[in-house]
Structure 1
């Protein structure tokens, strides 16, 4: 492989700018594009959307964080990794898509009224650990819920891909009427679909109330799906015999990461990966998270040297030594590549074992679910996954079981 339209200095910059802003194309040639604004630091540099053979998937999650929505937030946290599995199963032209997720909150009285009580929690990013971190940092308060406004702002603020052949969707969840606020929800939804962004609405509460509150109309206007859930339904995670080995393999997998960047960045990446493992474990979803980490949907190109090496072997040959992990600093360039190759092979082996254990666990869980006599209400994750599965197929993706 070789780089085109790049110089050596760009290689170094491309590996330590903000991770979600790195653009890598996976084709016969690898290209890293960096666009910097005047007077911005490299960490604030912004790149154009991904351009390559792997289709893009951009999803914005807009959550009502008013005082009545604690149950919704808990469902989103505990079901994140189950939701991501829908994208893990998707293929276009035989390749897993490049998934980016953004999170915005609205309706929280602790946010500025001048901004319609809206906040961008996580920008559009491929760093799924950052998404999990953002969800676990949310709190509820207040409020005034303006759906039209948050949809409009998500279209304006987020770095949506312009690539053809992908999937772009908004999932907005809440319980108050959809037509509140000064921004016309009809115009916002029409504008979304004109930009190729589907709007799915999830009403927390009675379906008829959601219809009367214009949640269905909002989805219809943007060619999305209208759903209703019980935000207070407890998410049940079934324990399986395979959980122990999955947790052990996950710990082994973490040891294969070689985080790259300034010392504080490397430490932050490592600590956040471990923290999100802990968050998932606390809500019963560590096995689901580990399954995602065994797949190509969980990627840290530009942050981790092993993932970056797998995208482009050339990209790790000329590195800024001060930004290398400590384990590589004393090695020669050739020895560094050899160590990265060793960890890449080890990671592949661990991922294979994780995938097999996860497959066995899925079979066990499905069998146990059939034994459950009680029917539970639909949750955020249930609604999200059902819509994604259907819409990915409509967008030309094939989905494996």
Structure 2
């Protein structure tokens, strides 16, 4: 009898503890918590996928800006992207012909850098393997309040490799990660190759595109102004630390990459840089670091500061950073004001060209991500 009472007592204690945890659920119920949108891009880099990579390069900032128009509980979400390549024969077969290029991160300059470094060559595309790797090896949020998405694009049978895609897709959705599939080619062929079945098994959407279509960028009268403001914005960054100059150089390099796809794409990147939710460089920029940590200037070592600040006393250093922050805020406000006019211009042009939009990566992907975010109670600004 004593043993029975002890067991029952232990069980009741355990149930009470579980009930307390469930009732608290602080991560789910805190209205001040910043929600996350996490997107992992798994791109086929086999020999026939040059067009897909080009579309991804030209649309990165457009996708970021689309996500940045959302809010949850009245707050802009934190946006994290990850990047994989798979299907390249120069990658080790024993590792699934795949490679994680960038983990889930808000360092979008790093994502851009790795995306622009992609090359293609022939190989086998192990879709099940790369989905499993992304599910298990990325740091996905544990909160059900966040949006977690894998987007995989390619053009061969979804069944290749010795890891069953059915198991991989089930593993993803069991962890709250939706899998969207994009077949690069004929839609019916993609269905026969089981790309739709993969999406269906993970609550995702099946899409098909012509990866060789040229993405149509709508040039606007505001692109040049936004580009000039971006040049002024760059002057407000104050690099610190051992990696500061390197990361500032990366920032400028990714500006040039965006500009290589035209003034419209350059404007999209500048608009991303004007929003804290999509572009925060507190790890290397003293302005962002001080905005996040009031004690930053007291904590940073003098040798980590740029040369122009080393001769300043503490008050002068703070005044210098505060001045840069004020300049930045004013420039970002101008960019966002021009961005509103630009959006209205683009919306009007799209009305005039109704029915002419090409079936490209951005066209299918952005609508899908927006629809799935809405299901997670993210609210978006009116569609452009």
Q: TM-score scaled by structure 2? A: 0.88
**For 1:14-25, what aligned pairs fall within 5 Å after superposition?**
none
Partner deviation per Cα, 1:48-94 (whole Å, 9 max, x = no partner): xxxx7211221110000000000000000000011111211111121
Cα offset for 1:133? Answer: 0.5
Structure-1 residue corresponding to 2:280: 299
Match of 2:301 among 311, 320, 327: 320
Match of 1:179 among 138, 159, 162: 159
Match of 2:323 among 333, 338, 342: 342
Structure-2 residue corresponding to 1:359: 340
**Larger Rg over CA atoms:** 2
Structure-2 residue corresponding to 1:278: 256
CA contact (8 A) 1:233 1:376 kept: no
Higher relative helix content = 2
Partner deviation per Cα, 1:304-325 (whole Å, 9 max, x = no partner): 1211222222233311122212
Give the Cα–Cα distance (whole angstroms) in 2 for the partners of residues 164 and 316 of structure 1.
37
Q: Which segments of 5 or more consecutive residues in structure 2 lack a partner in the other structure?
A: 1-31
Match of 2:44 among 64, 75, 83: 64
CA contact (8 A) 1:317 1:337 kept: no
CA contact (8 A) 2:297 2:314 kept: no
Match of 1:130 among 110, 121, 132: 110
Aligned-residue Cα RMSD (Å) equals 1.5
The answer to whether 1:266 aligns with 2:266 is: no
Structure-1 residue corresponding to 2:379: 398
Cα offset for 1:205? Answer: 0.9
Give the Cα–Cα distance (whole angstroms) in 1 for the partners of residues 248 and 271 of structure 2.
19
Give the Cα–Cα distance (whole angstroms) in 1 for the partners of residues 269 and 349 of structure 2.
20
The answer to whether 1:214 aligns with 2:194 is: yes
Partner deviation per Cα, 1:143-192 (whole Å, 9 max, x = no partner): 10010000011122222222341111100000111111100000000000
Structure-2 residue corresponding to 1:227: 207
Cα offset for 1:282? Answer: 0.6
Structure-2 residue corresponding to 1:236: 216
Give the Cα–Cα distance (whole angstroms) in 2 for the partners of residues 168 and 101 of structure 1.
10
Give the Cα–Cα distance (whole angstroms) in 1 for the partners of residues 71 and 342 of structure 2.
23
Q: Which segments of 5 or more consecutive residues in structure 1 lack a partner in the other structure?
A: 1-51
Cα offset for 1:260? Answer: 2.2
Which segment drifts farther, 72-81 or 201-210?
201-210
3-state SS of the aligned residue for 2:76?
coil
Which segment drifts farther, 85-94 or 348-357?
85-94
Which segment drifts farther, 192-201 or 312-321?
312-321
Cα offset for 1:97? Answer: 0.9
3-state SS of the aligned residue for 2:295?
helix
CA contact (8 A) 2:144 2:176 kept: no
Structure-1 residue corresponding to 2:7: none
CA contact (8 A) 1:81 1:289 kept: yes
Which segment drifts farther, 333-342 or 362-371?
362-371
CA contact (8 A) 1:101 1:128 kept: yes
The answer to whether 1:331 aligns with 2:312 is: yes
Q: TM-score scaled by structure 1? A: 0.84
Partner deviation per Cα, 1:17-60 (whole Å, 9 max, x = no partner): xxxxxxxxxxxxxxxxxxxxxxxxxxxxxxxxxxx721122111
- Number of residues of Structure 1 aligned to a counterpart in Structure 2: 349
